């Protein structure tokens, strides 16, 4: 049996286990360990198992994961998500589709405090959904906006997606975070365009609402000063060399905690809820990471990546064509496999291939994250749509999936723009961590 | 027979391209294919840098690439060779170490030592302020590559900062640190030439040691002829080649710095003397403490490796 | 967030945890893990922030902060994994099994729980072996030389608890 064949069997086993309902992290572990035994025998495989688990759990750079999750939870507990939505609502709510626009802007703002798409969708959805329905917004537009807006959580830093990518590819977390800012703003803008198109074609989806008075607008703006301060201090601290992007996670969590105290929302129950949820989400991420740390070396060991790369090289496509094929494959796989798991499973093969084509690893990280965002909202396994349908109990899942289509198209446009103008991703990291010459 | 050689660097790393892979090719050729070595790069057999020693002792890999500094408790003697000022180049260091290799026997009593070499002594890269004298370094935050450098930087009046290597570029460019103490061979990997304005090239910097270690049972399993081939292709000869590979990578790093118009600062004897004098006390304290703790004379151990007529630091 | 702010999704989430947690012992163990993991999490945050601030504003970074962060992270992870499994938050794909007839679905679920219990038990055993060997081979952090052995034990315990959770589900699938 050739190594590449064992590698393929490993993938087959992995997908079989996942289809049965084995949690992704444990499916990676089982397939990885079985494959490693086939490649190197039991004793080496047994060694890999505990060694990799420990190496992952004690990896300094991964300390950002629990800290960013904590920051998001604290921010949500102190009511910052509501403030964000309010300010956008007061200023643009009176426009046609304005509340949907406010939701997208709120999501973008909250994304700067939250590393997870699901958390962003839940948090903003809770605030925005009842409001949009109250003003007569259509089911499709209101749920689609939340599901799609939530995905900004992994593009605008901080982002668990970038942390995983950085860990798996040994790239700088800091550079990836900074690289996500402009594409994140661009995608926010494209979402707003999508909303404008929707309400132009179907005005009933997002009717205009009575404008807010100036006093209300400024009051909401002042209230949002808290969150703006946290974001500016965190980004400013990185830019000003006060702390590293890894440390920014802890600093952000500290600010969010301070906000909780200042707003007199700190109670035992709140703290215990925040800690409990932070631990559970951290466990979710690390289970997958540990599984990946066993599965990825097995795939490298099997030699499968080289075989696949050889096949791709043989195709008469050129770098752009190959890249398009990869993106297409992700769009399809993203339909059935949850985003972060998909990245973890495929990077051992795709990353060397993309580097071989001569693409910039930071830029590809951004592309990768947008493609994962598409997966988060595409049927049948669109995690963000599931989340939204738990908030909007009265709306059918099919309606949510129909509602995200325009936003999915906006993501395609974003990917194409990034391919045409890679500077959108590389400009900021290149100037912020500026060269001395 | 096929031996498994495990390391955790990428297949493109100079150590794979100029040491591991050539070793595998030569052993296969010299034994007429009777003995082969399969290289497992990139941590395919497990990536944890601090797990490599155990990997060799337990026979998970027949041969492992090992950095003594990651398991300092095991390599009590090897890590003493990291103190700054002992050596000026990888080749000099490696030749000198091999002339006294028996002094390291205790560190490698559980395995068979196949090769032992060093990288380049660290130099100092700065962005805002050139370091031409000891006074210039005072108050600077310096990213340190290894534990030994911490107390040296303190003795020079600087502030040691630990950072992952992947964040060095960002850290120097935003001012998290004012200086990087780093081996010239790392300049290319992290594009440090882009963010550096000044390099103090002959500051007495620490270096790191590297070794290839082999499981004892794996060695015993080989036929006398196979053992002879392996002995012939490893040892001092391979070590010197490995040191030369680091030297070349270091030269490339220096060339990249020069190409980026980085000002290359060479300390004159008087200024160099200040650095050497300031670090003497912590170096001696470190050597004495390490030796006393583990029952040997640390200073005497290191003196065996000192080039003759070189003044003690 | 206050109770009033908690959505149904949150409550369902908390209840899912409680549904699994039949016995008082189980609930007690979960609270203990939350307490320990929470303490490690807070220590991680405080250490990260104070190291950054002390370095930037007082020029006195904490010696060996990275070493401490490494081992604190192990503690957080060790507490977090069983808590995640306990709350039913481990990401799994049920798109296919959902469509199976009831009987078949139960059999598959049992098999899945058994596989999970076994692989976690295997992992726990290897971590325990490793814990004993870590001291033997001098595995420590670089600067402070904090021994890894005890932290391997923490992971081993964490995986044992996780395996037990799946074992319980295998034996009493109704819970
Ligand atoms: Na984010
Ligand atoms: Na999907």
Of A54, A246, A432, the CB nearest to B167: A246
Alpha carbons B139 and A390: distance in angstroms, whole number: 56
Of A47, A432, A436, the CB nearest to B58: A47
Of C1, C9, C74, the CB nearest to A273: C1
Nearest ligand (C-alpha, residue C95): 2
pLDDT value, residue C11: 47
- A22 shares contact with chain C (CB less than 8 Å): yes
Alpha carbons B279 and B137: distance in angstroms, whole number: 13
Chains interfacing with B (3 or more CB pairs < 8 Å): A, C
pLDDT value, residue C8: 41
Residue ranges in chain C modelled with pLDDT below 70: 1-22, 173-175
pLDDT value, residue A236: 83
Alpha carbons B262 and A264: distance in angstroms, whole number: 54
Question: Complex ipTM above 0.95?
Answer: no
Average pLDDT, chain B: 91
Q: What is the pLDDT of residues B187-204, one digit of tens each?
A: 988 889 888 999 999 999
**Chain A neighbours among B 159-198 (CB < 8 Å)?**
163-164, 166-167, 169-171, 173-176, 194-197
Identify the residue with better confidence: B166 or A361: A361
Cis peptide bond N-terminal to A435, omega within 30: no
- Judged by DSSP in three states, C71 sits in helix
Alpha carbons A402 and A205: distance in angstroms, whole number: 13
Measured CA to CA in angstroms, residue A65 lies from A12, A176, A245, B88, C95 at distances of 30, 15, 12, 42, 28
Q: Binning pLDDT at 50, 70 and 90, where does residue B147 land?
A: confident
pLDDT value, residue A434: 63
Minimum distance, in Å, between the CA of residue C104 and any CA atom of chain A: 11
With b for 16 or more beta-carbon neighbours within 10 A and e for fewer, the B282-313 pattern comes to bbbebbeebbeeeebebbebbeebeeeeeeeb
pLDDT value, residue A1: 67
Cβ contact B226:B78 at 8 Å: no
Residue closest to C76 by CA, chosen among C32, C49, C36, C17: C36
Record: contact C80-A253, CB cut-off 8 A: no
Alpha carbons C115 and C120: distance in angstroms, whole number: 9
Cβ neighbours, 10 Å, residue A251: 24
pLDDT value, residue C4: 35
pLDDT value, residue C96: 82
pLDDT value, residue C21: 47
Instruction: Show me where the domains of chain A are located.
Output: 62-266+303-430
Of A242, A243, A297, the CB nearest to B43: A297
Which structure tokens are listed for A252?
A: 């952000």
Measured CA to CA in angstroms, residue C28 lies from A269, C3, C18, C77, C174 at distances of 17, 22, 11, 19, 21
Cβ contact A54:C127 at 8 Å: yes
- DSSP run (H or E) holding B298: helix B298-303
3-state secondary structure string across chain A: CCHHHHHHHHHHHHHHHHHHCCCHHHHHHHHHHHHHHHHHCHHHHHHHHHHHHHHHHCCHHHHHHHHHHHHHHHHHHCCHHHHHHHHHHHHHCCCCCHHHHHHHHHHHHHHCCCCCHHHHHHHHHHHHHHHHHHCCCCHHHHHHHHHHHHHHHHCCCCCHHHHHHHHHHCCCHHHHHHHHHHHHHHHHHHHHHHHHHHHHHCHHHCCCCCCCCHHHHHHHHHHCHHHHHHHHHHHHHHHCCCCCHHHHHHHHHHHHHHHHHHCCCCCHHHHHHHHHHHHHHHHHHHHHHHHHHHHHHHHHHHCHHHHHHHHHHHCCCHHHHHHHHHHHHHHHHHHHCCHHHHHHHHHHHHHHHHHHCCCCHHHHHHHHHHHHHHHHHCCCCCHHHHHHHHHCCCCCHHHHHHHHHHHHHHHHHHHHHHHHCCHHHHHHHHHHCCCCC
pTM: 0.88
pLDDT value, residue B46: 78
**Chain B neighbours among C 142-171 (CB < 8 Å)?**
142-143, 145, 148
Separation of A148 CA from ligand 2 center, angstroms? 12
Report the sign of the C-alpha dihedral through residues A194, A197, A202, A206, in that order: positive
With b for 16 or more beta-carbon neighbours within 10 A and e for fewer, the A83-93 pattern comes to bbbbbbbbbbb
Record: contact C63-B141, CB cut-off 8 A: no
pLDDT value, residue A396: 85
Cβ neighbours, 10 Å, residue A11: 18
pLDDT value, residue B111: 95
DSSP state of C23: S
Which structure tokens are listed for C38?
A: 């929470």
pLDDT value, residue C22: 58
Cβ contact A83:A223 at 8 Å: yes
Separation of A116 CA from ligand 2 center, angstroms? 16
pLDDT value, residue A191: 97
Radius of gyration of chain A (CA): 22
pLDDT value, residue A10: 93
Q: Count of H helices and E strands in chain B?
A: 13, 11
Record: contact C55-B147, CB cut-off 8 A: no
Separation of A373 CA from ligand 2 center, angstroms? 9
pLDDT value, residue B313: 45
Q: First CA to last CA across chain A, in angstroms?
A: 53
pLDDT tens across the length of chain A (437 residues): 688 899 999 989 998 998 899 998 999 999 999 999 998 889 888 888 889 999 999 998 889 889 988 988 998 898 888 888 888 999 998 999 999 999 999 999 888 888 888 888 888 888 889 889 988 999 999 999 999 999 999 999 888 889 889 878 888 888 898 899 999 999 999 999 999 999 999 999 999 888 999 999 999 999 888 888 888 888 788 878 888 877 888 998 998 899 899 989 989 999 999 999 999 989 988 998 899 889 888 888 888 888 887 887 788 888 889 999 999 988 888 887 777 778 877 887 889 889 888 999 999 999 999 998 998 898 777 878 888 887 888 888 889 999 999 999 999 999 999 999 999 999 888 877 666 66
Alpha carbons A357 and B13: distance in angstroms, whole number: 19
């Amino acid at each position: 049996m050739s190594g590449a064949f064992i590698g393929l069997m490993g993938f087959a086993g992995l997908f079989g286990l996942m289809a049965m309902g084995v949690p992704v992290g444990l499916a990676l572990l089982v397939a990885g360990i079985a494959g490693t035994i086939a490649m190197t025998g039991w004793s080496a495989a047994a060694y890999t198992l505990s060694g990799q688990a420990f190496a992952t759990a004690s990896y300094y750079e991964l300390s950002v994961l629990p800290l960013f999750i904590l920051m998001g939870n604290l921010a949500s507990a102190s009511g910052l998500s509501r403030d964000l939505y309010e300010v956008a609502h007061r200023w643009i709510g009176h426009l046609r589709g304005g509340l949907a626009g406010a939701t997208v802007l709120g999501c973008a703002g909250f994304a700067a405090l939250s590393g997870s798409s699901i958390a962003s969708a839940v948090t903003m959805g809770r605030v925005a959904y009842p409001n949009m329905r109250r003003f007569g917004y259509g089911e499709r537009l209101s749920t689609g906006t939340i599901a799609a807006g939530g995905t900004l959580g992994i593009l605008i830093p901080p982002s668990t997606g970038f942390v995983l990518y950085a860990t798996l590819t040994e790239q700088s977390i800091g550079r990836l975070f900074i690289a996500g800012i402009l594409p994140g703003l661009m995608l926010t803008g494209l979402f707003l365009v999508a909303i404008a198109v929707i309400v132009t074609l179907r005005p009933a989806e997002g009717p205009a609402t009575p404008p807010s008075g100036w006093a209300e607008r400024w009051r909401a703006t002042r209230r949002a000063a808290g969150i703006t301060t946290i974001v500016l201090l965190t980004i400013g601290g990185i830019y000003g060399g006060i702390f590293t992007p890894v440390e920014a996670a802890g600093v952000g969590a500290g600010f969010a905690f301070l906000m909780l105290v200042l707003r007199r929302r700190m109670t035992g129950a709140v703290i215990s809820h925040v800690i409990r949820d932070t631990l559970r989400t951290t466990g979710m991420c690390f289970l997958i990471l540990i599984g990946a740390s066993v599965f990825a070396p097995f795939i490298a060991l099997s030699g499968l990546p080289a075989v696949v790369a050889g096949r791709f090289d043989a195709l008469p496509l050129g770098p752009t064509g190959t890249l398009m094929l990869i993106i297409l494959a992700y769009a399809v796989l993203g339909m059935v496999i949850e985003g972060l798991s998909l990245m973890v499973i495929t990077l051992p093969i795709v990353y060397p291939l993309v580097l071989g084509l001569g693409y910039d690893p930071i830029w590809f990280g951004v592309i990768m994250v947008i493609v994962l965002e598409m997966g988060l909202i595409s049927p049948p396994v669109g995690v963000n749509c599931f989340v939204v349908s738990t908030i909007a109990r009265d709306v059918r899942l099919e309606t949510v999936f129909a509602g995200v289509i325009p936003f999915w198209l906006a993501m395609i446009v974003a990917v194409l723009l990034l391919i045409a103008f890679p500077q959108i991703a590389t400009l900021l990291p290149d100037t912020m961590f500026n060269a001395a010459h | 027979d096929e031996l498994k050689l495990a390391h955790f660097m990428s297949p493109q790393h100079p150590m794979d391209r100029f040491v591991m892979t050539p070793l595998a090719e030569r052993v296969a050729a010299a034994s007429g294919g009777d003995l082969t070595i399969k290289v497992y790069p990139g941590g395919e057999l497990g990536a944890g840098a601090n797990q490599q020693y155990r990997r060799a002792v337990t026979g998970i890999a027949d041969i492992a690439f090992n950095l003594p500094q990651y398991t300092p408790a095991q390599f009590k003697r090897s890590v003493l060779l990291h103190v700054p000022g002992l050596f000026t180049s990888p080749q000099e260091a490696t030749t000198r170490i091999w002339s006294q290799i028996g002094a390291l026997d205790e560190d490698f009593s559980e395995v068979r030592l196949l090769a032992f070499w060093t990288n380049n002594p660290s130099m100092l890269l700065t962005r805002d302020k050139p370091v031409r004298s000891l006074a210039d370094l005072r108050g600077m935050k310096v990213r340190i590559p290894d534990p030994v450098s911490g107390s040296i930087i303190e003795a020079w009046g600087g502030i040691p900062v630990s950072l992952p290597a992947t964040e060095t570029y960002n850290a120097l460019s935003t001012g998290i640190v004012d200086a990087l103490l780093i081996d010239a061979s790392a300049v290319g990997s992290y594009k440090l030439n882009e963010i550096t304005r000044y390099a103090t090239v002959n500051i007495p910097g620490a270096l790191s040691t590297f070794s290839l270690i082999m499981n004892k049972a794996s060695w015993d399993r080989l036929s006398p002829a196979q053992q002879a081939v392996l002995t012939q292709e490893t040892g001092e000869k391979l070590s010197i080649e490995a040191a030369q590979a680091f030297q070349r990578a270091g030269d490339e790093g220096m060339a990249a710095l020069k190409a980026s118009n980085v000002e290359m600062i060479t300390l004159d004897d008087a200024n160099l003397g200040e650095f050497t004098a300031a670090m003497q006390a912590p170096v001696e304290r470190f050597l004495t403490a390490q030796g006393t703790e583990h029952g040997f004379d640390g200073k005497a151990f290191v003196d065996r490796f000192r080039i003759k007529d070189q003044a003690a630091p | 967030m206050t109770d009033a702010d908690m959505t149904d999704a949150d409550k369902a989430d908390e209840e899912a945890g409680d549904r699994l947690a039949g016995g008082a012992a189980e609930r007690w163990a979960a609270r203990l893990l939350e307490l320990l993991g929470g303490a490690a999490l807070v220590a991680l945050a405080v250490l990260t922030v104070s190291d950054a601030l002390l370095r930037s504003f007082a020029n006195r970074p904490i010696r060996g902060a990275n070493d401490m962060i490494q081992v604190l992270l192990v503690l957080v992870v060790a507490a977090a994994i069983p808590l995640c499994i306990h709350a039913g938050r481990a990401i799994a794909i049920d798109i296919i099994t959902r469509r199976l007839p009831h009987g078949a679905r139960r059999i598959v679920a049992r098999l899945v729980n058994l596989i999970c219990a076994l692989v976690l038990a295997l992992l726990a055993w290897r971590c325990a072996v490793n814990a004993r060997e870590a001291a033997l081979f001098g595995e420590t952090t670089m600067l402070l030389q904090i021994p890894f052995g005890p932290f391997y034990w923490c992971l081993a315990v964490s995986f044992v608890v996780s395996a037990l959770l799946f074992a319980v589900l295998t034996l009493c699938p109704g819970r």
